[in-house]
Amino acid sequence: MKPKDPLPVTEQSAMVYSIPCQDCDAKYVGETGKRLGTRLAENQLEINRKYKLSLVYGHTQQLNHDFAFEKTRVIGRVNEKIARLMLETWSSTGTINRAIDLHLAYQALLARLGSVRPRPMRQTSTRNREPMPREKRGVGRRSHDQSQTLPHQCAHKTENNSREQ
């Protein structure tokens, strides 16, 4: 592996992923901030150790099915936990996940946006974005205009001026 080669998917972190069942159309959707390989190993351990709170183990035990861990698909990469949870919920329709279904209005929006978003979402990053020009950020802008002075500053200036006179 060369220094600039992309990391294998199992070595990447902060993502929402989907594991399909080998024997039926069911799938498990999960999110992790860990490396994907670590999280998949944890899912397999839950099955091996018969962890009763695991949805993956529950599906395996109840229906005697197996999951195709090698066919795991990345749905999206997001650094923020809340955004990952939203993407997981957004992607959990028709899965074995325990979740409260989305409100009907959001389900309609999801169906409508499904045709607009043909490929998985990319990881959000600010590394390669162009910086905003200084004028737009407000850096280096100084104004002596009273319209941008806060009211308490105006009162303080008037009070000081009246004392001096």
Q: Are 81 and 33 in contact (CB under 8 A)?
A: yes
CA 106 vs. chain centroid, Å, equals 18
At 22, list the tokens.
């080998």
pLDDT tens, position by position, 41-61: 999 999 999 999 999 999 999
Q: Considering just the CA atoms, what is the radius of gyration of the chain in Å?
A: 26
Q: What is the mean pLDDT of residues 82-88?
A: 89
Q: What is the mean pLDDT of residues 149-155?
A: 52
The residues, any chain, with a CB within 8 Å of residue 99's CB and separated by 6 or more, are 89, 92
pLDDT value of residue 155: 52
pLDDT value of residue 66: 95
Tell me the residue ranges of DSSP E strands in the chain: 13-20, 27-35, 73-77
If we measure between CA atoms, which residue out of 71, 94, 75 comes closest to residue 83?
Answer: 75
pLDDT of 31 above 60: yes
pLDDT tens, position by position, 91-145: 887 788 876 666 777 777 777 776 554 455 555 555 555 655 554 545 544 444 4
| pTM, to two decimals | 0.62
If we measure between CA atoms, which residue out of 96, 95, 91, 94 comes closest to residue 110?
Answer: 91
Q: What is the mean pLDDT of residues 63-83?
A: 94
Q: Are 22 and 92 in contact (CB under 8 A)?
A: no
Instruction: State the burial class of residue 84 (Cβ atoms within 10 Å of its Cβ: 0-12, 13-18, 19+).
Output: buried
Domains in the chain: boundaries? 9-114
Q: Is 15 left (phi over 0), alpha (psi -120 to 50) or beta?
A: beta
